[in-house]
Amino acid sequence: MVEDTHIRVLPTHVANKIAAGEVVDRPASVAKELIENSFDAEATQVDVEVSAGGRKLVTVSDNGVGMGRDDALLSVERQATSKIRDVDDIEHIATLGFRGEALAAIASVARFRLVTCRREDDAGTEVTITGGKLQDVREIGAPAGTRIEVRDLFFNVPARRKFLRTYQTELGHIRSGFITQALAHPGVGMSLKVDGRETYRLAAGSDISDRVREIFGPDYHRDLRSLEGAGPEVTVRGFVGLPTVHRGDRGEQYCFVNGRAASAPLLNYAIREGYRSLLPSDRHPCVFLFITLDPAMVDVNVHPAKKEIRFRRPSETRDAVIAAIRKALALPPCSDTALDDQSSPILPGDPGRPVAETQMKIADLIQTRTFRYPRMGPGMSPAPASGSDKGQGREAESTASEPGLGSSRTVLETAPWSWCRVLGQVKDFYVVMETEDGLVLMDPRSSHERVLFEQLMAEVTQGDVEVQNLLIPETVELKPRDADRLRKNLAVLKTMGFGVSEFGGDTFVVDALPACVKEASAKEMLIGLPQTLEEAGSRGAKGQWREEAIAQAACQEAVRARDKLTLEEIEELIVALSKTEMPYTSPKGRPTIVFTSMNELNRKFGRE
């Protein structure tokens, strides 16, 4: 009696179609796999052409090493690859492809044509496959390299085809994938043609800076800062955007590990921590990260489409990325826009005055603390821009040697502008300034928070906090849970200059504050501090996270206690803000300045 079995071995064509669902889910994934194969083939030029959002045609041509007839036939077999020989090779993957599944999966669900030729061969090979069935193999004249045409994707899998989106949506995924691959290999020339029209033409031999400028434009590149860092076994480089450049999603966060576009929760966390206190929680920075480490220290075999990776020593990679980002945000922009003395602009309204008299460089501001400021009061008219030049000169003589203002070199390296002219205030609050590149609106409160925060953190780091004793100590009663959290951090508060001690039960007494935040409400600060510490503590990152959280809360209260800044204080604030390491956001991530470039102003007024 023959036993009726329920388990059967699937036919090859069925197995290939199932595998295609793991590797190929839309035209963009076809383009990705083919482009990565071109990179592995040592191509220096890769050309991509798509039609109808990739549904009708996806073509990738390269000038790589090419293949002979036998290799061309084997390349479309499932699990046939030239990139690994043994299971141990998976532990040291140095190529983008290694599974040997992509071409077989693509050929099983499309009309597939491969033309390839090695540099040393007189003729190439053409392989034609339809729905996984080999149709023809023949010799053909062809240039060195490989060209693959994929037509009518999913023509034999209607269920899969109906899940494709509109042409524009699929085309958007293809463009996004093309940009990602172009960033991963800036030395390779690349082009993208959409429905017969060339969309991108990227030069070969570029570095990542040139490639970013080519794709995103010079204005975008100007808001990036170069990033470099290293751990014991990991190197991090690339660019990070200023906190003023952010998005509502992670669409402009590009991470590459050993040249492979990759994603991992660890990297998302590291980027978020690198920008901690610089961005609101619902905004995401623009980042280009290139991480290099031993292939044995990363597992790229997690996902069939190789979309996710795992690190064998995640904490080391995480800390290296966080440190590199924090360091980069304190460095000059990646494109040096400091003005040359011989090409310094003349301020509007003074066309005939010498540059030496009209230019308001930050170096001069720090020495003289003078501003062209049309101070307007009841019944007063704005003063002429040049009417106080002589008076400003006298003020310069009296304040040039004022202590604590710093050197001009320090400010020129970190200031967000090279010169400025203060024009006035909006509703007696927002400050309006003209700079060399356009118009700036400054939020005095957020700016004041940033200045106080960096001052306090500098004192804490140096272990030299100036303390101001309160004339009348304040007592504050907290909820039991808040009191317990505060109790655990009393030692930290003491080292930061806060005189806080237990007064019995859940009551605390405050008798001293750091001098720079002496105007803060001790009671309000103590009430809000436990919640701030709880939110900060959930991150678990290394570094002075408690000190930073406490300083944020204290500086916010100190600024809130001030109803309004005088004009003189605003002038001092602008100078102080330009000297900070991160003048673009408050410690809580709110913007301190909003910049509108001259190009944008010209566009709005139709002058382009």
Q: What is the structure's pLDDT at 248?
A: 83
Tokens (6 digits) for 161: 């085809």
Overall size of the chain counted in residues: 608
- 13 vs 199, more confident: 199
What confidence category does residue 424 fall into, taking pLDDT thresholds of 50, 70 and 90?
A: confident
Residue 543's region, left for phi above 0, alpha for psi from -120 to 50, else beta, is left
DSSP string, 66-132: ---HHHHHHHTSTT--SS-SSGGGGGG--SS--SS-HHHHHHTTSEEEEEEE-TT-SSEEEEEEETT
Q: Which CATH class is domain 210-328?
A: alpha beta
Quick one: three-class SS letters along 371-401?
A: CCCCCCCCCCCCCCCCCCHHHHHHHHHHHCC
pLDDT at 336 over 60: no
pLDDT, average across residues 38-62: 95
**200 Ramachandran zone, left/alpha/beta (phi>0; psi -120 to 50):** beta
Q: What is the pLDDT of residue 350?
A: 38
> Candidates 1.10.630.10, 3.30.1370.100, 3.90.1150.60, 3.10.20.30; correct CATH number of 447-560?
3.30.1370.100
Which residues neighbour 318 within 8 Å (Cβ) at sequence distance 6 or greater?
Answer: 266, 269, 270, 273
Residue 69, pLDDT > 90, answer yes
Provide the pLDDT confidence category of residue 4 given band limits of 50, 70 and 90: low
Residue 36 in contact with residue 118, Cβ under 8 Å?
Answer: no
Query: How confident is the model over 132-177, as pLDDT tens digits?
Result: 899 999 999 999 999 999 999 999 988 888 889 899 899 999 999 9
* pLDDT beyond 70 at 81: no
Residue 14 is predicted with a pLDDT of: 65
C-alpha 399/C-alpha 370 separation (Å) is 10
412 versus 254: the higher-pLDDT residue is 254
Q: Which long-range CB contacts under 8 A does 198-203 form with residues at least 24 apart?
A: 199/175
Residue 317: is its pLDDT beyond 50? Answer: yes
- Would you list the domain boundaries of the chain? 12-200, 210-328, 341-443+592-604, 447-560
Least confident of 23-37, 267-281, 415-429, 527-541: 527-541
Q: Does pLDDT of 44 surpass 60?
A: yes
d(CA 339, CA 467): 40
Selecting from 1.10.3470.10, 3.30.390.10, 3.50.50.60, 3.30.565.10, what CATH number does the domain 12-200 have? 3.30.565.10
Residue 207 pLDDT greater than 70, yes or no: yes
* Half-sphere exposure at residue 449, Cβ-oriented, CA atoms within 13 angstroms: 29
pLDDT of residue 535: 67
For all residues of the chain together, what is the average pLDDT? Answer: 79
pLDDT tens readout for residues 82-127: 544 444 445 545 556 545 678 888 999 999 999 999 999 999 999 9
Task: Answer whether 147's CB lies under 8 Å from 172's CB.
Answer: no
The pLDDT, as a whole number, for residue 15 is: 63
Model confidence at 367, in pLDDT bands (50, 70, 90)?
A: very low
* Position 49 pLDDT exceeds 50: yes
pLDDT at 289: 96
